[in-house]
Structure 1
Amino acid sequence: MGSLAAIFILLLSIAHFSPPSHFFVSGDSTLIRKTCKNTTYYNLCMSSLKSNSSSFKADTKGLAVIMIGIAMTHANQTTRYLSSQLVSNTNDAVIQKVVKDCADKYSLAIESLQESLQQLDLMSSDYASVQVTAAKDYPNVCHNEYRRFPGLAYPAELAHREVQLEHMCDVALGIIDVLGW
């Protein structure tokens, strides 16, 4: 249970994520709209960024940071959901293993997203993109864990969360592409 405690501490710190102040400049909804047009999921981009008041003061780099933060929060919530499944689910060892492996994958997604923020701070958009892409792929590894055990159904709630994180990461990747460094 030591690793679960460490995960919970990490998750608590992420739950209160707010981008550093040096990512903000004077901006408006025009930049948000222009930036979101360059992403795969325009509506998700617009609704996500407009729901965060910091977006209206952010430059493009700041918008990327905010979107990555939103993806981190989502991955954090999914890890908590999976952890609650470990506690409340059956005592079936296979299910417990698969759920724990999935929680671990979402934790790795969070770590990748954190690393992408560091790369953005270093103005390294290529490495930031690599990290966001890794975060996008970790939920698929979780899905594959379920496939390894015939008869073990992939929960609809988890499938929904997987798709949401993938789309959030796609939006973040689109914003990072706009940076063009």
Structure 2
Amino acid sequence: MGASAIFLFLLLSSLAFRQQIFHQPLIFVKGDMDLIQKTCKNTKYYDLCVSSLKSNATSSKADTKGLALIMIGIGIANATATSSYLSSQLPSSANDTILKKVLKECADKYSYAGDALQASVQDLAVESYDYAYMHIMAAADYPNGCHNAFKRYPELAYPPEIARREKGLKQICDVVLGIVDLLGW
């Protein structure tokens, strides 16, 4: 199942969950480029926000909360892909027990980041914006645990690929935090 299929499932599940709890019809505001640009202007990484939302077909029908959910889905895909990437590196480090331990810890941290982002989807569904914000901040912080694991062993260099993925997840989370700020703080 591809990342876009997983995201669509998560989005629809969270929207259905919201409808089930509140017994209200879901209302979508036509999310044209004006809404995307206006929303993205409130984020730390405007270009990342606009390009990510424009590349997702569902953003044209989304309201501000829908745009946040799209970006959360992108973050979940990033965290999941990074956790899988790190896990895939474990067999090649079989002879280096320290590296294997650090890679396992990093894979776990990115898995936790994905879990935190998933929790934020549920928080948004019930309009618990403060909890959503907290979970998104936690997701942005989990990669620090990976980075710190490498720092504990000076003989291990922090791989550029992991640094790139860490930066990407943190920037995605920063974009989501900017969007959540618009939702009713």
Residues 102 and 96 of structure 1, relative CA distance in 2, 3 Å threshold: same
Say whether 1:102 aligns with 2:106.
Answer: yes
Say whether 1:138 aligns with 2:121.
Answer: no
Mapped to 1, the partners of 2:166 and 2:178 lie a distance apart of: 18
User: Deviating runs (4+, > 4 A) in structure 1?
Assistant: 11-15, 21-24
User: What RMSD in Å do the two structures reach over aligned CA positions?
Assistant: 1.8
Conserved in 1, the CA contact under 8 Å of 2:29 and 2:63?
Answer: yes
3-state DSSP of counterpart to 1:102: helix
Conserved in 2, the CA contact under 8 Å of 1:23 and 1:58?
Answer: no
The offset of 1:180, in angstroms, is 1.6
Q: Which amino acid aligns with 2:70?
A: I
Mapped to 2, the partners of 1:128 and 1:82 lie a distance apart of: 26
Residues 12 and 95 of structure 1, relative CA distance in 2, 3 Å threshold: farther
| Consecutive unaligned residues in structure 2, runs of 5 or more | 16-25
Residue 123 of structure 1 aligns with which residue?
Answer: 127
Residue 6 of structure 1 aligns with which residue?
Answer: none
Q: Which amino acid aligns with 1:96?
A: K
Residue 170 of structure 2 aligns with which residue?
Answer: 166
Say whether 1:71 aligns with 2:75.
Answer: yes
The offset of 1:12, in angstroms, is 7.8
Residue 19 of structure 2 aligns with which residue?
Answer: none
Residue 156 of structure 2 aligns with which residue?
Answer: 152
Residue 5 of structure 1 aligns with which residue?
Answer: none
Mapped to 2, the partners of 1:162 and 1:15 lie a distance apart of: 23
Conserved in 1, the CA contact under 8 Å of 2:83 and 2:107?
Answer: yes
Conserved in 1, the CA contact under 8 Å of 2:3 and 2:77?
Answer: no
The offset of 1:15, in angstroms, is 6.4
The offset of 1:89, in angstroms, is 2.9
Name the count of aligned residue pairs.
171
Mapped to 1, the partners of 2:49 and 2:182 lie a distance apart of: 13
The offset of 1:87, in angstroms, is 2.0
Deviates more, 1:19-28 or 1:155-164: 19-28
Mapped to 2, the partners of 1:125 and 1:41 lie a distance apart of: 20
Residue 87 of structure 1 aligns with which residue?
Answer: 91
3-state DSSP of counterpart to 1:49: helix
Residue 17 of structure 1 aligns with which residue?
Answer: 7
Say whether 1:57 aligns with 2:47.
Answer: no
Identity %, equivalent residues: 57
Mapped to 2, the partners of 1:102 and 1:69 lie a distance apart of: 20
Q: TM-score, normalised by structure 1?
A: 0.89
Residues 114 and 46 of structure 1, relative CA distance in 2, 3 Å threshold: same
Deviates more, 1:161-170 or 1:23-32: 23-32
CA deviations 1:78-105 (Å, max 9, x no partner) are: 0111011112334211000000000000
Residues 15 and 160 of structure 1, relative CA distance in 2, 3 Å threshold: farther
Mapped to 1, the partners of 2:113 and 2:4 lie a distance apart of: 12
